[in-house]
């Protein structure tokens, strides 16, 4: 077996043997040959036989994918063992012949083999992170391709434009900078508040404009204070625009991402202004994020960029010490504490970017702009 089928940072004797003996090896080999995808990790596969004959539909098989290190998977294994000991016919079977494939550490698809209700031959399968079919027996079936032949799987991938890509889909909207603890949107909300005049002020301004009546000292003082607030807001927005341009749009950005606790993805990239963008188009399309370098590593210390990221990682470890996390410094993917995210951005200059899709595919990223030279 070609060890290149497995990501270098994940290779082990155990995983090498699992892939070598896998029924999915022909599919893994072809996807690796065509697209360079690699095995990232093994997964737990539960094949369920559904014999409910509803709406005159025949019995069929469907599959559930689990984290083999989870308590749920261990419970399933225990139940399977009890069923065997009690001679109980189970409606499902468990297998570890299932693997997550990825491109440079970013999950692409889970490959496995399953039974067919019309043949004794096994079906090759790949479950992707997005729907590729309009219909399916289950929700997961809509993003799963199955065939007795590897060539048909490849044909289905190409037909549905579901080839793996190294583009991770970051836009300028994923990044934020702060001024005095507030984002540009926060400051823009204040503009509306500043321009809210009470009845007395509106009447005085109306009479001043229409009948040239002088403003009272009290109203003049109130309007002067309002003018100062407007200047402050406009100045803050101007500073934020400058900071965003320098720190985000005109500088290299490092990203540290994880979809699992066993490895990390480190990316170095930058935004490039698109010449095709025109006024009236979505502002998020004005710049495209270009990846300059991407690596899949076991730990952050293994990254070639660790020296420039070390101080940020240390600060993140301190910030996440008593909070749900993976790798010791990345917020857990289900952790949606807006206060925490704002604190991490304000204190550490780190954007938390969650790319949520489906279980086993969701990635959480730390966006670290302009390492070592942040303008605030």
Q: Which residues contact 180 (CB under 8 A, 6 or more apart)?
A: 236
- For the entire predicted model, the pTM comes to 0.85
The structure tokens listed for 228 are: 């100062």
What's the pLDDT at 135?
83
What's the token pair of residue 311? 């101080």
Pull the structure tokens for residue 223: 């309007």
Residue 249 per-residue DSSP state = I
**Exposed, middle or buried by CB within 10 Å (0-12, 13-18, 19+), for 283?**
exposed
Question: Both tokens of residue 57?
Answer: 């539909």
Query: What is the C-alpha to C-alpha distance for residues 139 and 109, in angstroms, rounded to an integer?
Result: 16
Instruction: Read off the pLDDT of residues 80-112 as tens digits, 9 standing for 90 and up.
Output: 898 888 888 777 899 999 999 999 999 999 999
With a pLDDT cut of 70, the percent of the chain lying above it is 93
pLDDT for 37: 96
pLDDT (0 to 100) of residue 1: 54
Sheet holding 92-95, edge to edge: 60-66, 44-50, 92-95
The rounded distance, in Å, linking the Cα atoms of 89 and 115 is 17
Is the pLDDT at 373 greater than 80? The verdict is: no
Nearest to 111 by CA among 178, 51, 223, 31: 31
* pLDDT at position 214: 86
58-78 per-position pLDDT tens digit: 667 789 999 999 999 999 999
pLDDT beyond 80 at 374: no
Task: Convert the pLDDT of each residue in 123-136 to its tens digit.
Answer: 999 999 888 888 87
Helix axes 217-244, 199-210, angle to 10 degrees: 100
- Reply yes or no on whether the pLDDT at 219 is more than 90: no
Tell me the per-residue pLDDT of 345-366, one tens digit each, with 9 for 90 and over: 888 889 999 887 788 998 999 9
Mean of per-residue pLDDT scores for the chain: 88
């Amino acid at each position: 077996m070609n060890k290149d089928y497995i990501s270098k940072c994940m290779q082990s004797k155990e995983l090498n043997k699992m892939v070598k003996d896998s029924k999915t090896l022909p599919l893994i080999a072809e996807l690796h040959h065509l697209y360079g995808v690699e095995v990232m990790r093994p997964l737990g596969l539960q094949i369920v036989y559904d014999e409910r004959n509803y709406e005159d539909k025949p019995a069929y098989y469907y599959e559930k994918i689990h984290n083999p290190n989870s308590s749920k998977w261990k419970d399933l294994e225990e139940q399977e063992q009890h069923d065997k000991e009690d001679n109980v016919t189970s409606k499902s079977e468990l297998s570890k012949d299932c693997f997550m494939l990825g491109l440079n550490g970013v999950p692409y698809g889970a490959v496995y083999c399953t039974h067919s209700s019309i043949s004794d031959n096994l079906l090759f399968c790949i479950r992707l992170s997005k729907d590729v079919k309009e219909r399916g027996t289950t929700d997961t079936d809509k993003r799963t391709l199955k065939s007795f032949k590897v060539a048909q799987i490849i044909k289905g991938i190409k037909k549905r434009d579901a080839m793996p890509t190294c583009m991770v889909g970051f836009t300028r909207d994923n990044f934020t900078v702060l001024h005095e603890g507030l984002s540009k949107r926060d400051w823009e909300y204040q503009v509306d508040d500043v321009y809210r005049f009470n009845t007395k002020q509106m009447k005085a301004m109306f009479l001043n404009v229409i009948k040239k009546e002088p403003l009272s000292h009290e109203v003049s003082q109130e309007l002067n204070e309002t003018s100062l607030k407007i200047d402050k807001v406009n100045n803050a927005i101007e500073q934020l625009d400058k900071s965003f341009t320098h720190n985000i749009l005109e500088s290299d950005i490092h990203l540290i991402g994880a979809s699992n606790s066993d490895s990390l993805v480190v990316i170095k990239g930058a935004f490039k202004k698109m010449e095709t963008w025109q006024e009236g188009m979505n502002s998020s399309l004005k710049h495209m994020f270009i990846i300059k370098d991407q690596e899949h590593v076991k730990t952050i210390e293994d990254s070639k960029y660790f020296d420039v990221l070390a101080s940020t990682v240390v600060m993140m470890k301190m910030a996440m010490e008593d909070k749900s996390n993976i790798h010791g410094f990345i917020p857990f993917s289900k952790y949606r504490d807006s206060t925490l995210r704002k604190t991490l951005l304000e204190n550490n200059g780190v954007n938390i970017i969650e790319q949520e899709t489906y279980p086993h595919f969701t990635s959480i990223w730390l966006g670290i702009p302009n390492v070592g030279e942040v303008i605030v």
